[in-house]
């Protein structure tokens, strides 16, 4: 049909975008992962990845991402739940989201001031008699700041899931004699599991790859997969090794999406 | 509305809001500190703001950031709308889903991967790192969100509208400009707006593809923050926070309008 012809013509820019900026980059990463630092074709990067140094880094990166996601979930779920009970819930939700619109680096920078040696946090610790502690450049500060940054992204999908839930179901559970805990475990949580999955997905994957936070807040103590990739691409210029780590990060990403998977397609 | 929040729940929500906003107000507060540090408030001053406005290098960077954001949002919106119309015109749901999955790759990919792969792409293609590489990558990662925001509007539009217009003798161009585009306009606005915030907010991707001579605000803040505390950043963040709030208000009203005009038929 004539329909099809003209469609193909105006569709070109979009298809070009998919080819150049979606498919090509992934293939290029894969391609580069097979070159060593001198530009020779080899599998050395994959061998290196399976040495204890890199495996340990991958595991610790996972562990941090896991902690960050877990703590975010523990804080976000009750928050989202209580938010749905407030009067002007959409407005309150908006107020939760506003901080996420502020540049991440500025928030990290704020914490450099707060957690610094003479910062507010230490002032507080001194006032209650604990005394000055090294807070900045520790695991604690890294996890705290990450959770702080990701909380809105965890609250949003859970809030939406809770908001869509039919309230009569709760009445039904109540009438049938379920305790509050039982109602939560058997009715509320299963019905909002999609929101939880989405939330974990949007927190876990970035948590694996944040490199600016590890640099600014954790002072190179914490090395995540993202930090390693940045290091290889921009500092040591070993693009092959960086690409190899990126390949594994992509694989992990697909695995996570598969596990937390088939959420309703966007449209 | 029905069940009142208990005092404990209220306290919890208040605590969450306090923690979310404290760092931001902390930054704003110390931007007026004449002492020059983020502790020990010595006295009120506008010195840092004055210094900020005299820093021509920084002002040029702000200008760069705005130009990149506006241009990339504009181009991404055009290509995204084309893409959404194209995706919609496919009849087989298999082709549609394949395209949508490809579309979403850049949304779920971690920034580090996008940045690293674009760096390889630009280097291979011989594009010099600087303004154009940053602009191209911002266009690239903004397109999918535009598509996702425009598509639901298109799907909500009844195909009989187009048939009616064709029957009444409208040319294809007329159908596009007089029927389709006005109908999906709220989606287009929302898409443009999201693309704008994506671009303004991005750090990681820009950091990879920016090269030496060119810088955006996020990258500049990062390099300043790595050097330590300087209250210029606080002054800058106060101004950015004000702009963000303004954008949030505008966005809120746009989405309210979308909700009002759009929700009717669906769900």
CA angle A233, B225, B27 (to 5 degrees): 140
Q: Flag whether B39 is in a domain.
A: no
B 166-225 near A (Cβ less than 8 A): 172, 197, 200-201, 203-204, 207-208, 217-218, 221-222, 225
CB B138 within 8 A of CB B69: yes
Residues A22, A32: Cα–Cα separation, whole Å: 16
The Cα–Cα gap between A213 and A219 comes to 9
Q: What is the DSSP track for A192-234?
A: THHHHHHHHHHHHHHHHH--HHHHHTSTTSS--HHHHHHIIII
B5 touches chain A (CB under 8 A): yes
Question: Which pLDDT tens digit goes with each residue over A57-97?
Answer: 999 999 999 999 999 999 999 999 999 988 888 888 888 88
Helix (H, G, I), strand (E, B), or coil: what is residue B33? strand
Class for domain A46-259, per CATH?
mainly alpha
Q: What is the ipTM of this complex?
A: 0.86
Average pLDDT along chain A: 87
Helix residue ranges, H only, chain B? 7-30, 47-54, 56-89, 93-108, 111-125, 131-156, 159-167, 172-174, 181-201, 204-209, 217-227, 231-262
Range of the domain at B252: 57-262
Residue B210 forms part of a structural domain: yes
Determine the average pLDDT of the residues in B107-111: 89
Query: Mind giving me the DSSP string for B98-109?
Result: HHHHHHHHHHHS
**What are B216-260's pLDDT values in tens digits?**
999 998 988 888 778 888 898 899 888 888 877 887 777 677 665
- Is residue A99 a contact partner of residue B15, using CB atoms and an 8 Å limit? no
pLDDT of residue A126: 82
Phi, psi torsion values for A41, nearest 5 degrees: -65, 120
Closest-approach residue (CA) in chain B for A228 = B112
B41 in any annotated domain: no
Sorted by where each begins, the domain ranges of chain A are 1-32, 46-259
Q: How far is it, in rounded angstroms, from Cα B260 to Cα B244? A: 24
In a domain, B61, yes or no: yes
B18 in a structural domain: no
CB nearest A110 (choices: B23, B115, B252): B23
Domain count for chain B: 1
CATH at B112: 1.10.3720.10
pLDDT tens-digit series, residues A13-50: 999 999 999 999 999 999 999 988 888 888 889 999 99
**Whose CA is closest to B33, among A173, A113, A218?**
A113
Task: Kindly state whether residue B92 falls inside one of the protein's structural domains.
Answer: yes
Within-domain flag for B23: no
End-to-end CA distance of chain B: 23
Residue the block writes with tokens 């064709």: B166
């Amino acid at each position: 049909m004539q329909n099809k012809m003209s469609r193909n013509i105006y569709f070109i820019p979009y298809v070009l975008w998919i080819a150049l900026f979606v498919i090509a980059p992934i293939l290029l990463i894969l391609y580069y992962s097979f070159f060593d630092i001198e530009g020779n074709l080899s599998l050395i990067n994959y061998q290196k990845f399976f040495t204890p140094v890199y495996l340990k880094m991958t595991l610790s990166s996972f562990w941090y991402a896991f902690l960050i996601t877990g703590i975010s979930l523990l804080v976000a779920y009750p928050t989202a739940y209580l938010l749905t009970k407030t009067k002007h819930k959409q407005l309150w939700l908006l107020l939760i989201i506003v901080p996420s619109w502020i540049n991440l680096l500025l928030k990290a920078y704020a914490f450099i001031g707060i957690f610094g040696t003479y910062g507010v946090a230490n002032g507080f610790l001194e006032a209650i008699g604990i005394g000055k502690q090294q807070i900045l450049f520790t695991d604690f500060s890294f996890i705290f700041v990450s959770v702080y940054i990701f909380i809105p992204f965890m609250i949003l999908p859970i809030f939406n899931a809770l908001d869509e839930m039919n309230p009569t179901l709760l009445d039904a559970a109540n009438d049938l004699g379920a305790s509050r805990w039982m109602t939560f475990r058997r009715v509320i949580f299963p019905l909002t599991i999609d929101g939880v999955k989405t939330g974990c997905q949007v927190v876990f994957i970035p948590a694996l790859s944040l490199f600016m936070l590890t640099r600014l807040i954790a002072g190179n103590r914490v090395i995540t997969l993202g930090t390693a990739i940045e290091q290889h691409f921009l500092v040591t210029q070993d693009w092959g090794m960086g690409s190899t780590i990126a390949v594994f990060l992509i694989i992990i990403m697909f695995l996570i999406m598969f596990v937390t998977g088939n959420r309703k397609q966007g449209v | 509305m029905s069940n009142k929040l208990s005092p404990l729940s209220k306290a919890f929500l208040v605590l969450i809001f306090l923690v979310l906003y404290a760092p931001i107000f902390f930054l704003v507060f110390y931007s007026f500190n004449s002492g020059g540090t983020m502790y020990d408030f010595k006295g009120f001053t506008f010195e840092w703001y004055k210094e900020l406005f005299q820093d021509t290098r920084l002002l040029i960077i702000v200008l760069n950031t705005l130009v990149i954001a506006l241009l990339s949002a504009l181009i991404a919106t055009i290509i995204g709308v084309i893409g959404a119309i194209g995706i919609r015109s496919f009849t087989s749901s298999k082709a549609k889903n394949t395209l949508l999955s490809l579309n979403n790759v850049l949304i779920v990919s971690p920034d580090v991967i996008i940045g690293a792969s674009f760096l390889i792409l630009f280097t291979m293609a011989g594009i010099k790192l600087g303004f154009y590489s940053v602009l191209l990558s911002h266009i690239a990662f903004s397109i999918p969100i535009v598509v996702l925001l425009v598509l639901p509007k298109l799907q909500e539009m009844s195909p009989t509208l187009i048939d009616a217009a064709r029957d009444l003798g409208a040319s294809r161009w007329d159908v596009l400009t007089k029927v389709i585009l006005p109908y999906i306009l709220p989606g287009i606005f929302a898409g443009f707006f999201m693309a704008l915030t994506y671009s303004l907010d991005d750090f990681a991707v820009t950091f990879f593809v920016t090269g030496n001579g060119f810088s955006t605000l996020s990258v500049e803040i990062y390099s300043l923050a790595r050097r330590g505390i300087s209250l210029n950043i606080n002054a800058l963040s106060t101004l950015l926070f004000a702009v963000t709030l303004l954008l949030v208000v505008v966005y809120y009203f746009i989405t309210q309008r979308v909700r009002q005009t759009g929700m009717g038929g669906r769900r």
